[in-house]
Structure 1
C-alpha cells in the first residue's frame, strides 16, 4: 500500500487525564500555524495531524513528547491507519456521544483557521473527512443522534440539583456547546441565564428559548440566585475564580459543570468548600448508535480511507512520472548540446534528425518505467532513487 505521508499523534480522554491534555495543548497550539501540521483540540482530545516530512518524523516527535511525560498515553497512527482515524473522528465515532455532529464543526473551524500554506495533502484529507461525515450523516443513523457534550452537562446538572424544575442555571459561553446546553436546559429547569463575551450572540440565543442574559461583569452579582453553572467558555481560569465564587458558596453549595478544555475554573476555585465541581472527564459518555450501525460506519470510513490512499498514490505517481521525464529530458538536452557542438558540419536537416533520435531513445527508455509506475505507484520513491532524484514533496 502506498504511504500517503500522513500521521496522527493523539492524546485522548480514554488514556490521559485532563491535566495532561491541557499541558499538551499548551505545547502544540503554536504548531497550528506550521504548514505541515494541524491541531485539533476538543473536550476529550488533543490531536496533531502531520503530513510530508513532519509525518516521516512523527516517531521522533512522539519520542520528544514522551520525554516530556506523554509517552504511554500518546497514540501514534501512520498512513492508512491515520487516515481512517481522522475519518472516524470526524464522523463522531470517537466522541463521548458516539455519532454527535459537533465534531464536524470543530474540524471545519480547524481547517478554516489553518494557514493558506497548509500542506495540500493535509488539506485534502480534512476536506475529505468533512465530506464523508456529511454524507454519512445524511445516509445513516447518525442523523438521529441529537445528544452532545452540552446535553451530557445538562444531565449532570439535573442529577446534582434536588429540584431542577425550580432551579436557576447560569451558562457561561454561547458558542456551539453552550448553545446546546442552553436549549437542553430550557426544557429541564425553571430559569436559564446566559453570559457571553459577545452580548449580542447571548441575546439571540436567549430569545430563542426564553432565557435571560447578563454581561460577564454581572456574573458576580447574579450568582446570589444561581443554583448551578455550566461553563463552556475558553476563559482559562480568569473568570470563574475563587474570589468570585467564594461569596456565593458562603450561602450554600453550588454545582458547577466545566466542559471547557483548558478548564475555565482555576485550581484554587476547584478546591473551595461547598463547590460540587465536575470537569468534562467526569461526564458519562453515551452510545446513541447500535453496534451494527457503528460497524457499518467504521466500514465506510475504512473504505474511504482506501480510496483516499489510492488517489494519493495515483497523484504521487503522476508527479513522479512528470518529474522523471523532466529530469531525463534535461539530461538529454545537455548531452545533445555537447554532441551537436562536435558535429558542427551537419546540415540543419541532419541536426533535426539527431534531435528527433535523442527524443525517441529517451521515450523508449522511459516507456516501461512509466507503465510500471502507473500500475504500481507505490514504487515512486524507488524510481526517484534509480534516476538519482530527490524525494517527492507532498
Structure 2
C-alpha cells in the first residue's frame, strides 16, 4: 500500500519533498513519518505521510527527549547557574557514594559516570520516575572508573542531570523546559503529556523485520548483566519492551527526561530553531559560544554500550560523525524509532524527522533515511 505525502515546502525546497516521497514509496511498511525543518528561524518544510497521521499528530519520541533536557542544562550553564567543571557531588552530596565523588558535571554530560543502570534493573513504572531513578543511582557502584571511559546512559542520563538541576534550582527539568522553552515558543513537544492532548497521540508501532533481519537483531541482544544489558535494563526481572515503554500512559504523563517526551516533527524542529535562531521575534535560547561548548566531539574512543566511536558532545550526540555535511557544532539527538532532531548553526538548519513505526535496525539511533532527508534540507538551505 502506498501513502501520499501531505504538507508544504517553501520555494527552493521542492527537492526535499521529492526525497521524502521517494522514501515513503520505498518503505515496506507504513512508517507514519513526519518531516519538518526551519532555516534561520523560518519554517521551510512541513510534510507527513502514513495512515492516521497528520502534521499535528503526536507520538512518543524516546531519546529525542534528551535534546530537550540538555537544552535546559545548557541554558543554566550559560547563565552561570551550573558549572561544568564542578563535581556532581558538590550539588548532590549523596551521589559521592561508591567512588563517584570526583565526577564533574561535564563528565556526567559526556556519559562517563559508569552508572548506566542499577543492580536488578528497573520496572517500567520506575523508569517513568526520574526522582526514583536518581535516588537509586546515587548509591549505585559504577561499572567502570567514573570519568575514565564512557557509555550511553540510555534510560538514566536525564534523571542524573535532572537531579543536579533540581538540587540547584529547586525545580525539575520538566518544569524549566515548560516555562522557559516550550510554552514561550509554542513548541508542540512535551515532557509530560497533558490529558487534553491525549487524543492527538498515536501509539508507537513495532518493528516488522524479515526473518534475516530478525536473526541479525537477536545476535545484537546483550547479555543481561553486561554493560550494554544493564544500560538497556535487560537485567530487570522483566526485560524492558521498548515498544510497550513508549506506549505506556505513565511514561507519557511523567515525561522522564531521558526517554519520555511526546511530540511531532513540527515541535522538535521549532525547539531546535529556537535554540540557535530568532523565532517569531524571540531571540535565540543559546549563544553561539554555548552551542560550540555543547556541540562538537567530546568523547573520542568507543562507547562501551553502543560500540560507536566519538558518540557525544556534551549531552547531545556528535552527529557530524554520521552526517559530514553538518557543521562541527551541530547539536541534536536521535530516538529509538529512528527519529532525529538537530540544530546546525553553520547552515541555520533546524531539522526533525519522526517515525511512528520502529525502523530496522531499531533502537540504535537515527534510521538510515535521515542521511538523505537531512542532506536534502541542508543542500536546499545553502542554495537559498
- The interval holding the TM-score normalised by the smaller chain is under 0.3
| TM superposition score normalised by structure 1 | 0.25
Larger helix percent: 1
Q: Which has the higher contact order (CA 8 A, sep 6+)?
A: 2
